[in-house]
Chains A and B, each alone.
Chain A
Amino acid sequence: MKKGMIIIFICLILLTSLVSAGIFDAFKKITGYASSQTVNVSVSVSGANPAYIPAVSEISAQDPTEDSSKVIHFNFTICDPDGESDIDQTSGQANFSKASETTRYNTSCVYEGQLNATCGSFACNITMWYWDGSGTWNVAVNGTDKGAQTVVFNSSTTFTYNELRAMVITPDNITWNSITPGTTNQTADNDPVTVNNTGNYDGTINMTGIDLHGLTIDTEIFGVDNFTVDVETGGSPAAECDGTYLVNDTTTSISNTDTNPGNLSAGGGAGQETLYYCIPDVPLLSTQEYTTSKAGNWTITYDV
């Protein structure tokens, strides 16, 4: 009996600590529930599975554009087992990379839309430049989903950026306005000739010279083997006067040249080579004008 009284007493204490309402509160409509009010609730349901990128469209070999950029378009598919709606449509990114080259990016590929219940497609444009190196470039794309928010990658694709041999030469003629037969080390009046590399060829420069003919007496020839070409100038005698001698109608490699592919707008010699011309020993010829207009211009080419 005493034991039962103790249990009832403990129960009363517990009930007292859990319920603060008095016996008459029931009539005051205190129910123990929260007070009623209108609440706007937004629920976003995201899947726990990460997305994956099953495919990147093939990119055909691309020709660089002379002295300009080239926009390369492609797209990739991204899928999420939790449904297409779980794909983060702002997450598409891509880049092109190659060893020793500047990586080209697009950090905001455009979501093209739904492909099926679980997949969608991103469209990407990446700009390549004329000086970007020829060869195989790696294509890497990534994206994510709203649920797992795991960034997923695909770098299984490559493409070929072709070799562009392009140049702008300025000026396109060289002159010696008046030189005296028998004199030495006569440098051109209007050099250097600047060879701007408006492509991505990386190598050296060749020149094919052709004998000059007299404008009045065209049978008289000023041999091209009297001319030297050099990348250096200045000093006494002028540095270009010990340059590479040209050979008639023969492709000759000009020593120490470098096409130096790069951004011409950056200045500092990127993408440029300069050529200086000299006649080390002026031959004994009659007084008249000599020109290439009879037999053909000299041709500047890149080495193979």
Chain B
Amino acid sequence: MMYKNKLIALTIGLLMISLVSAAGVSSPYWKNNPLVMAKGETKTINLNLQNMVGNNDIVFNAELVKGSDITSLSKTSYAVQAGTSDTYLPLKVTLPKDIKDGETKTIRVEFTTSSDKETGGVGLTTGFVVEFNVIAEGNAESNVNWILIILTLLALAVLIIILWMIFRKRKSK
């Protein structure tokens, strides 16, 4: 091993091919803007993946770091073409029915980006974290159609009255 007074070349300038790394992730919920959901409710949140700067297609690699008990990723790798902002990562969030009112869950998705370009030396890349709270509030609306139930009961009541009247008429004869 050669140490002192020898050179360590951390990189070679010729390897510096690309100069820019760019990307973006937009989210409808963030630290100061929590998602409020009813207990038992399911909602789909779309995270918007963007690659508007530069000419390189990139791949967003997503990892669900927090919140796997209420959501999941359908896939973890998203290819986003250069100059586009219309790629979405859907997060289907479901709160359990037995969660307490006001209880908070946290979802955290971490993204790293990669492209097929080559960098030398200490390569730098962009990464993004989307983290937000999900707060339980109230119960999900029941799927029961109350109008239909009331109408059915009314119809039954009318039918019973008609039958009773017919029965009474026959009895009086």
Q: Which residues of A contact B (CB under 8 A)?
A: 61, 63-68, 134-135, 160, 162-182, 190, 193, 198-199, 208, 212, 222, 277, 282, 284-293, 297-302, 304
Contacts and interface: CB of A to CB of B under 8 A. Distances in A.
7 contacts: A64-B26, A165-B129, A173-B119, A175-B122, A199-B26, A299-B125, A302-B128
A287 B121 contact: no
Contact of B10 (A162, A172, A179, A299): A179
A304 B28 contact: no
Interface of B: 1-13, 15-16, 18-28, 30-33, 48, 50-54, 85, 108, 112, 119-131
Nearest to A293: B123
A163 B33 contact: yes
A286 B54 CA distance: 37
A208 B129 CA distance: 12
B124 A291 contact: no
Contacts of B10: 175-177, 179, 212, 222, 289-291
A169 B129 contact: no
Nearest to A214: B8
A286 B6 CA distance: 8
Nearest to A301: B127
A169 B50 contact: no
Main secondary structure of the interface of A (DSSP, over half): loop
A167 B125 contact: no
Contacts of B2: 286-287
Contacts of A298: 122-125
Contact of A167 (B23, B28, B30, B122): B23
A169 B27 CA distance: 21
Contact of B21 (A68, A160, A172, A176): A172
B3 A66 contact: no
Contacts of A286: 1-3, 6, 8
B127 to A, nearest CB: 4
**3 residue pairs, one from A and one from B, having the closest CB atoms:** A166-B24, A297-B123, A299-B127
Given A167-B24, A174-B122, 8 more contacts: A65-B85, A135-B33, A166-B25, A168-B21, A175-B122, A176-B8, A176-B11, A300-B126
A175 B19 CA distance: 13
Nearest to B120: A173
A188 to B, nearest CB: 8
A180 B7 contact: yes
Contacts of A193: 124
A172 B25 contact: no
B16 A292 contact: no
Contact of B24 (A61, A179, A198): A198
B20 A291 contact: no
Nearest to A199: B24
A169 B122 CA distance: 13
Contacts of A65: 50, 52, 85
A190 B13 CA distance: 10
Contact of A172 (B32, B124, B128): B124
Contacts of A174: 121-122, 124
A173 B11 contact: yes
Contacts of A167: 22-24, 126
Contacts of A164: 24-26, 48, 50
A292 B123 contact: yes
A291 B11 contact: yes
Contacts of B19: 170-172
A284 B50 CA distance: 43
A63 B1 CA distance: 55
B11 A170 contact: no
A178 B9 contact: yes
| Listed residue (A61, A180, A292) with the most chain B CB atoms within 10 angstroms of its CB | A292
B20 A169 contact: yes
